[in-house]
Structure 1
Amino acid sequence: MSEFTVGESAFLLDGRPVRLLSGALHYFRVHEAQWGHRLAMLRAMGLNCVETYVPWNLHQPRPGVFRDVRAVGRFLDAVREAGLWAIVRPGPYICAEWENGGLPAWLTGEPGTRARTRDERYTFHVRNWFHQLLHEIVPRQLDRGGPVILVQVENEYGSYGSDTGHLAELAGLLRAKGVTVPLFTSDGPEDHMLTGGSLPGVLATVNFGSHAREAFAALRRHRPDGPLMCMEFWCGWFDHWAGEHVVRDPAEAAGALREILECGASVNLYMAHGGTSFGGWAGANRGGALHEGPLEPDVTSYDYDAPVDEYGRPTEKFWHFREVLSACRPGPLPGLPPRPASRAPRPRPCSPAGRPRPPCWRRWAARRRPPRCRPRSRSWGSPGVWCATRWTCPGRGSRTR
């Protein structure tokens, strides 16, 4: 089995330096039948890795009730089949413009519970959640034949607090549950964020959208050694209801990406493919320095102006990024995968004469009344509209037609 480690200046795969060219793709924002195509699109762009969050509230709707946690494992299996590595960010807080930042509403609404702290009631639920989740991640680590090479501790904690004891507790929990690949933290390139969100002995990474040299200089003030990585290169942005669709010039974004790579750093495109926040799972934001501004709900689309758009198509930004990334990859890049076949609408059955069958209620209305049945009662809807008849048939009991 291969071994992935953090060296003094680079990531090492079996002792050899390797650069991570990653892209964010959230399995919960993409239909499972489309995972393979979207992962192949990432490979075609020149990436060798994919990153995903895990939303706690999606998989644990109520205390003690877990829903399809195995989807995480199925996605990681699809990543391995696509020939990519995986970076997993299990939170427990994830942000991601997702409802409540991924924290269950039943947890944050519990009186007295203080989320993202060492509060025992909070950590008790985190331990139970990680016990379920890590069964899907631990067996799929690189040193066990899987694709997982990095696991994150919390998420941008320096933007929220500075309790490094809480981070250490989470890191210890991940290790105790069997995570053996390197752990990391990610924060903005500000001194107070890196101080409050990083952890001794754990790889620190930074998130930004431009000015890579300044961002990495801030990281080096706190971490003189270790590989440089932009864990979130914001190549686009999300949209709010009633706001303008945010776009970023493809050539300018490609120039910012080139600057990251010229620094010798690894990168994770956020987002490589955004997908859709199905149902009511889209989150919201508040503006202002103290987040006391008006509530700004996010739209359902999480297209993010990503290089692979919401429909899975390559954009102009895709081709600019592919050109930049190809300089870091040996050999030619794979071509675009074929588009997955869309599901055709089911044809309506036809009568023997070739005419489409009428809807069920018309077919029923055309039938003759069953023999020896008599109407017992009728219920009425709007005046003059017949809704249903309840029949009583000898030997059959009563039924509603």
Structure 2
Amino acid sequence: MVVLRIRNVHKRKCVLIFCFSVAVVITYRYLGMPRGGQRISRKIGLSANSSQFTMEGKPFRILGGSIHYFRVPRAYWRDRLMKMKACGINTLTTYVPWSLHQPQRGVFNFHTQLDLEAYINLAAELGLWVILRPGPYISSELDLGGLPSWLLQDGDMRVRTTYPGFTEAVNIFFDKLIPKVVPLQFKKGGPIIAVQVENEYGSFAKDDTYMPFIKEALQSRGISELLLTSDNHNTLKSGGVDGDVVSTVREILRRGMSINLYMFHGGSSFGFISGGLAEPSYKALVPSYDYDAPLSEAGEYTQKYHLLRDLFSQFNRGEGFPDLPVLQHKEAYEPAIMYQHLSLWDALSFTEGPFKSDMPLNMENLPMNNKNGQSHGYTLYETTITSGGVLTSGDNVKDRALVFVNKSYIGLFKRRNLELAVPDGKGQRTLSLLVENCGRVHQGRNLDKQRKGLVGDILLNNIPLREFTIYSLEMKPNFIYKFVDFKRTIHFVLQNNSLESNVFALVFTRLLGKCFLKLPVSLLFSWASSLYMAIPVIHLLNCQVGIKVLCLSTGSTWDATGPLDPSRLSTSPVHFSTGVSTRSLCSRSKKVTTRSVLRTRQILAWQLTFSDSHHLLYFLYAVCLLLF
């Protein structure tokens, strides 16, 4: 074994020399020689004349392909871009979705999956140029064309115009976005050779001063590369070329023209980000963004990919293409078995709200998400009715609604289905409408009218319904995580003469560092006495446990959660056959229900909360000892 020692006086020199050497290599490799071993001065950049593009004054053909970083899991970015490079593509094009980067006013996200700078730097590392398409409107089959839904809180909003409310929001977004990409421009040593101004504005064109505003917004913040626009072929002076993809690309290349393949790899529109189509009638868009692209949605090579690679190789005058990356190993998922489910009504306790409103509020104007409204998902509207009759939506349901009376389903509202019969009944009943946002349209001249939820009055017998209780089920990750990190169902066979060998399913849930145990109630057995005896036992083990009682008849939850002190328990065993207040279970002064009586037939389950799984095991052990 050889031990190498360096004196402290030499250490700094060695480190400095090493860092300098690495910097020189990186500069030379990525900034000075991105193509075929020829250095580029980076003074002029990409330019366009009447017939072709030039790079630093020399003819340059853009062979572009679109891959959106927000539609591909970050773990697969490198794989997809390497496959693009191996096909002969020299330029990556990507949109920038405003709605994902700024989900709320003043809240910005450029991390992990949305790390635009990392994506552009990866393209540079692999030898790809970049054409950036920062919007602010991008279409791209996204909800509202990539515009954030909170813009629609303004009832007078006119998007894609110089309406002050819109331009102010654009300026705030660009103040965050553009400084991140300015250092990545070609003239500054980066891969960005061009930037697109807005997107397909020729098909919208409501404001002659809007496009100059966007151009100035980009250039004033430091964008100095070639600016370009993009439009559908029927709104350009020159038309398209008919034919299949390969023959079309061949003809374009034969004429010496540049091309961009939208999409080269489509990926998936994850979550609720897909938009909708407005014409000829509204249709929701599916989350798959495969686009019949050369690379499939799963990143596999297609016949189109191989044909295009062969074609590009015929026009390639430089070095050969990289070898095709090896396809990643794939396995089928195991069958999914659902052990537990949560009803809509049980899920309401996890929602933000509820909100009270005399009139129905659309999703965008719900007072949630720091007053930014609800972006997507579902909204439940509830009110009280005293009679049956004809329920009329007046096309104010966006986009469809499941309708319930006292939690019983009675029908569906959707477009062109505007009336529903409500059965007669006695007394006051709860009418519930679960409204689904199927996606705001991504293009067209009615983007300002894409508010979702109940956007106007719902009539019962021609009388507007009032006094709504509103629950938001936005289905964001933090909402889903409230339910469970993982669930396990533990089956105990209780072999006891008095229990007649009943089988109870004890549902164990771990959530946010705590454990929950739901104890179903049997007609033959109550957990009350066992809980009364077991809690002092686990208290001796220094466990923390809280209790909730879930009421079957009303769906309400009586909460007596928190550390239970045996000295605060009632002095006699708890019997529910005659009714008992939850105060007799726990007489803590805080967070104790003011409800008075629960009866045996009303009890659905006990839910116990533990500070960790060890306390849960101690409790189960104590219960088993007491039972057997």
- TM superposition score normalised by structure 2: 0.48
SS at match of 1:17: strand
Distance 1:332 1:379 in 2: 64
Shift of 1:319: 1.1
Contact 2:200 2:229 in 1 (8 A): yes
2:294 aligned with 1:307: yes
Distance 1:19 1:263 in 2: 11
Distance 2:526 2:222 in 1: 64
Relative distance call for 1:111 and 1:86 in structure 2 (3 A) is: same
2:285 aligned with 1:298: yes
Query: 2:313 corresponds to which residue?
Result: 326
Q: How does 1:148-187 map to 2 (within 5 A)?
A: 148-161=192-205, 163-187=207-231
Q: How does 1:123-272 map to 2 (within 5 A)?
A: 123-161=167-205, 163-190=207-234, 193-194=235-236, 208=240, 210-211=241-242, 252-272=244-264
SS at match of 2:119: helix
Structure 1: runs of 5 or more not aligned: 196-205, 212-250, 288-292, 346-358, 367-377
Greater Cα radius of gyration, structure 1 or 2: 2
Shift of 1:89: 0.5
Query: 2:89 corresponds to which residue?
Result: 47
- Could you say which structure has the greater relative contact order, defined with CA pairs below 8 angstroms and 6 or more residues apart? 1
Distance 2:48 2:206 in 1: 26
- Residue identity matched to 2:227: L
Query: 2:47 corresponds to which residue?
Result: 6
- Residue identity matched to 2:283: E
SS at match of 2:271: coil
- Number of residue pairs aligned between Structure 1 and Structure 2: 321
Relative distance call for 1:131 and 1:343 in structure 2 (3 A) is: farther
Equivalent in 509, 520, 543 of residue 381 of structure 1 = 520
- Residue identity matched to 2:520: G
Shift of 1:68: 2.5
Q: Which moved more, 1:68-77 or 1:100-109?
A: 68-77
Structure 2: runs of 5 or more not aligned: 1-40, 334-486, 495-516, 546-609, 611-615, 617-628
Distance 1:382 1:115 in 2: 55
Equivalent in 137, 146, 159 of residue 102 of structure 1 = 146
Relative distance call for 1:45 and 1:363 in structure 2 (3 A) is: same
Distance 2:293 2:274 in 1: 17
Distance 2:491 2:192 in 1: 56
Relative distance call for 1:338 and 1:12 in structure 2 (3 A) is: same
- Residue identity matched to 1:56: W
Equivalent in 94, 115, 118 of residue 162 of structure 2 = 118
Distance 1:327 1:379 in 2: 67
Distance 1:328 1:258 in 2: 9
Shift of 1:259: 1.5
SS at match of 2:212: helix
Shift of 1:187: 1.1
Contact 1:153 1:183 in 2 (8 A): yes
Shift of 1:360: 6.7
- TM superposition score normalised by structure 1: 0.73
Query: 2:326 corresponds to which residue?
Result: 338
Shift of 1:40: 0.7
Contact 2:64 2:260 in 1 (8 A): yes
Relative distance call for 1:132 and 1:362 in structure 2 (3 A) is: same
Question: Identity of counterpart residues, as a percentage?
Answer: 36
Contact 1:186 1:207 in 2 (8 A): no
Distance 1:102 1:362 in 2: 45
Contact 1:391 1:398 in 2 (8 A): no
2:213 aligned with 1:67: no
1:329-350 alpha-carbon deviations (Å, 9 max, x no partner): 12322221123466999xxxxx
Shift of 1:71: 0.9
Shift of 1:48: 0.3
1:293-335 alpha-carbon deviations (Å, 9 max, x no partner): 3211111111111010011111001111112211221232222
Distance 2:211 2:522 in 1: 66
Distance 2:107 2:304 in 1: 41
Shift of 1:381: 2.8
Query: 2:273 corresponds to which residue?
Result: 281
Distance 2:153 2:249 in 1: 41
- Residue identity matched to 2:200: E
Contact 2:276 2:284 in 1 (8 A): yes
SS at match of 1:391: helix
SS at match of 1:302: coil
SS at match of 2:315: coil
Query: 2:535 corresponds to which residue?
Result: 391
Contact 2:161 2:206 in 1 (8 A): no
Contact 2:46 2:194 in 1 (8 A): no
Distance 1:321 1:379 in 2: 58
Relative distance call for 1:259 and 1:93 in structure 2 (3 A) is: same
Distance 1:207 1:52 in 2: 24
Relative distance call for 1:316 and 1:50 in structure 2 (3 A) is: same
Relative distance call for 1:365 and 1:324 in structure 2 (3 A) is: same
Distance 1:145 1:386 in 2: 73
Distance 1:40 1:382 in 2: 58
CA RMSD of aligned residues (A): 2.9
Query: 1:89 corresponds to which residue?
Result: 133
Contact 2:143 2:273 in 1 (8 A): yes
Relative distance call for 1:263 and 1:365 in structure 2 (3 A) is: farther
Relative distance call for 1:394 and 1:71 in structure 2 (3 A) is: same
SS at match of 2:274: coil
- Residue identity matched to 2:130: A
Shift of 1:158: 0.5
Relative distance call for 1:253 and 1:169 in structure 2 (3 A) is: same
Distance 1:182 1:20 in 2: 13
Distance 2:189 2:118 in 1: 15
Distance 2:153 2:239 in 1: 30
Query: 1:80 corresponds to which residue?
Result: 124
1:169-214 alpha-carbon deviations (Å, 9 max, x no partner): 1000100111011111111233xx348xxxxxxxxxx785x33xxx
Distance 1:143 1:395 in 2: 68
Contact 1:4 1:11 in 2 (8 A): no
SS at match of 1:257: helix
